[in-house]
Amino acid sequence: MKVYQTNEIRNIALIGGAKSGKTTLAEAMLFEGGVISRRGSVEDKNTVSDYRPIELERQNSVSATILYTLSDNKKINIIDTPGFDDFCGEVISALRVVDTAIMMVNGQNGVEVGTEITWRYATRANTPVMFVMNHLDQENANFDETLRQMKAQFGKNVTLMQYPVNAGSGFNTIIDLLKMKQYKFASGGGKPEISDIPAGEKDKAEEMYAALMEELASKDEALMEVFFDTGALTEEQMLQALKTGLINRTIFPVLCTCAKQDMGVGRLLEFITGSVPAPNEMPGIKTKEGKLLNCKSSDPASAFIFKTSIEQHLGEISYFKVYAGEITEAMDMVNPIRQSKERLSQLFVINGKNREKVEKMVAGDIGATIKLKNSFTNNTLNSLKNPDDVIEPITFPDPKFRTAVRAKSNTDDEKINIVLHELAKMDPTLIMGYSRELKQMILQGQGELHLNLAKWHVEVLEKIPMEFYAPRIPYRETITKSAKSMYRHKKQSGGSGQFGEVHMSIQPYKEGMADQTEFPIRGRDVVELDWGGRLQMNNCIVGGAIDARFLPAIMKGLMEKMEEGPLTGSYARDIVVNVYDGKMHPVDSNEISFKLAGRNAFREAFKNAGPKIMEPIYDVEVIVPEDKMGEVMTDLQGRRAVIMGMDSEGNYQKIMAKVPLAELNRYSTALSSITSGRATYNMKFAEYSQVPGDIQDKLLKAYEDQEKEEE
Q: What are phi and psi of 590, to 5 degrees?
A: -155, 180
pLDDT given at position 710 = 66
pLDDT given at position 549 = 94
Q: How many CA atoms lie within 13 A of 304 on its CB side?
A: 24
CATH numbers and ranges of domains, the chain = 6-199+250-281 (3.40.50.300), 285-382 (2.40.30.10), 401-469 (3.30.70.870), 477-610 (3.30.230.10), 614-694 (3.30.70.240)
pLDDT given at position 498 = 92
Q: What is the DSSP string of 577-627?
A: EEEEEEE--TTT--HHHHHHHHHHHHHHHHHTS--EEEEEEEEEEEEEEGG
DSSP structure class, residue 96:
H
3-class secondary-structure state, position 332: strand
CA dist 340 → 150, 327, 373, 553 (Å): 48, 17, 9, 42
Residues 6+ apart with CB under 8 A from 529: 535, 562, 571, 573
Q: What residue ranges in 34-172 does DSSP mark as E strands?
A: 65-71, 74-80, 100-106, 129-134, 158-160, 162-164
User: What does the pLDDT look like over 594-643, one tens digit per residue?
Assistant: 999 999 999 999 999 999 999 999 999 999 988 899 999 999 999 999 99
Q: Mean of the pLDDT values across residues 455-461?
A: 94
> What number of other Cβ atoms are within 10 A of residue 404's Cβ?
17
pLDDT band at 312 (very low <50, low <70, confident <90, very high): confident
C-alpha to C-alpha distance for 179 and 460, rounded to whole angstroms: 52
User: What does the pLDDT look like over 475-519, one tens digit per residue?
Assistant: 999 999 999 999 999 987 766 789 999 999 999 999 999 999 999
Q: What is the dihedral of CA 536, 541, 547, 549, to 10 degrees?
A: 20
User: What does the pLDDT look like over 605-614, one tens digit per residue?
Assistant: 999 999 999 9
pLDDT given at position 219 = 82
User: What does the pLDDT look like over 640-679, one tens digit per residue?
Assistant: 999 999 998 777 899 999 999 999 988 988 998 999 888 8
Residue 579 has pLDDT above 90, yes or no: yes
Instruction: Report which of residues 474 and 709 the model is more confident about.
Output: 474
User: What does the pLDDT look like over 183-229, one tens digit per residue?
Assistant: 999 988 889 999 999 999 999 999 999 999 989 988 888 888 888 88
**Over pLDDT 70: what percentage of the chain?**
99
Residue 133 has pLDDT above 90, yes or no: yes
Q: Within the chain, what is the greatest distance between any pair of CA atoms?
A: 113
pLDDT band at 164 (very low <50, low <70, confident <90, very high): very high
Please state whether 663 falls in left (phi above 0), alpha (psi between -120 and 50) or beta.
alpha
Q: Mean of the pLDDT values across residues 14-39?
A: 94
Average pLDDT, the chain: 93
Assign 3-state DSSP to the chain and report helix, strand, coil percentages, each to 5.
30, 30, 35
User: What does the pLDDT look like over 357-396, one tens digit per residue?
Assistant: 999 999 999 999 998 999 999 999 999 988 899 999 999 9
Residue 686 has pLDDT above 70, yes or no: yes
pLDDT given at position 703 = 87
Residue 569 has pLDDT above 70, yes or no: yes
Residue 711 has pLDDT above 60, yes or no: no
Tell which residue, 287, 362, 367, has the closest CA to residue 327.
362
Question: How do beta strands 476-478 and 571-572 pair?
Answer: parallel
C-alpha to C-alpha distance for 638 and 407, rounded to whole angstroms: 34
DSSP structure class, residue 8:
G
C-alpha to C-alpha distance for 250 and 370, rounded to whole angstroms: 39
C-alpha to C-alpha distance for 103 and 252, rounded to whole angstroms: 10
C-alpha to C-alpha distance for 656 and 681, rounded to whole angstroms: 10
**pTM for the structure as a whole:** 0.88
CA dist 14 → 38, 45, 72 (Å): 21, 19, 20
C-alpha to C-alpha distance for 222 and 209, rounded to whole angstroms: 20
pLDDT band at 248 (very low <50, low <70, confident <90, very high): very high
Q: What are phi and psi of 171, to 5 degrees?
A: -55, 130
pLDDT given at position 494 = 66
